Structures are given as C-alpha cells and as structure tokens.
Amino acid sequence: MATPRPHRLQHEVTKRQLWKERLQDVYPELDDEALGDTLEGLTDLREMLAEIIRSALADEAMAQGLKGRIEDMKTRLARLAATAERKRQIASDCMAEADIQKLLQPDFTASLRPGGGSVIVSDIEQVPEAYWVPQAPKLDRQLLSAHLRGGQQVPGACLSNPKMTLAVRTK
C-alpha cells in the first residue's frame, strides 16, 4: 500500500468521526471496545496510519544512513584537502629551492610569488577595541531546561505543557 495522501487521511479521520457519532446516537449502550471494533471494519484509518508510520521509519533509516555517509564524506573531504595542501607545499618548497619561478605546462601554469604575511598577536590585551567584534549574549537553552526540569524557578522562563508524542518501537 502506498503512503496515503494527507487529504485521503483527513477524509478517513472525518469518516471515522461521523461513524462514531452515528453509532453512539443509535446505540448509546455500546461499550468502547465494541465501538472500536465496529469502527475498525468501517474505515481504513488504522491501515493508513500504519503505512504512514512505516514510511516514517523508512525515511528515518534513510536519514540515518545518509548522516553516516555524509560524515564519511566529510572525513574524506578533509583528508583530500589536507593532501592537496601538502602537495602544493612540497611543490612550492622544491620550486623555491631550485630557483624555478614559473612552471609552464599544457594544463596549468604554476608560479612562485610573495604571499601576504599572517597576523601574529603577541599581546592580546594591547589590541585596540576597534579590532574586536562585539557579540550579543546567547541563551544557554540546555542549562535553562535542566534547571527548570530540576524544579528551579527561573524568572522569564517556564516549561511548556507536555505534548503528545508518537512512540514507535521497532525491536
């Protein structure tokens, strides 16, 4: 079964609600279990919800796999970038030592030229304020949450009412 579209799902929810109301009007003595069993046979809602949850589990598995693959690729990228930098440095050092200022090749031209100096801060306390970047304070939400969950009162903050969450076990 394909993952149901939102409008189809909403239709089934509405249909289930209408059937529930009708059955309760006609059979007010009907207990919850009998009502649930009857509604089960009248709608496909449970099957549709099961397909949505299966689809969510598949998406979560794909996301986890991609997350691992992305981390592997980031590691590979860093390794390739470091290797390229080392190779460029070796070529630069050799060209300087051999007094080769320019290397002309069919697919590239490499040349040695003076680079700009890098900044060395010998005493950070003496650097004028104009060179500092001011930053606004940032709220530590984890610490705030931990204190609130621990029962502490924090002015200007509180915990929200808990929301219903969907727990899905696969083991």
Contact between 157 and 145 (Cβ < 8 Å): no
pLDDT for position 27? 76
Nearest to 139 by CA among 131, 148, 129, 130: 148
Per-residue pLDDT of the chain (171 residues; tens, 9 = 90+): 577 777 787 877 887 788 778 878 887 887 888 777 777 777 777 788 888 888 899 999 999 999 999 999 999 999 999 999 999 999 999 999 999 999 999 999 999 998 877 889 999 999 999 899 999 999 999 999 999 999 999 999 999 998 877 777 777
Give the pTM: 0.54
User: Beta strands 102-104 and 109-111: pairing type?
Assistant: antiparallel
C-alpha distance across the termini of the chain, in Å: 23
Inter-CA distances, 77 with 73, 84, 90, Å: 6, 10, 20
pLDDT tens readout for residues 82-100:
999 999 999 999 999 999 9
CA atoms within 13 A on the CB side of 48: 15
**pLDDT for the residue numbered 58:** 92
What residues does each domain of the chain span? 6-112
Which residues, 6+ apart, have CB-to-CB distance to 13 below 8 Å?
A: 45
- CB-CB contact of 12 with 48 (8 Å): yes
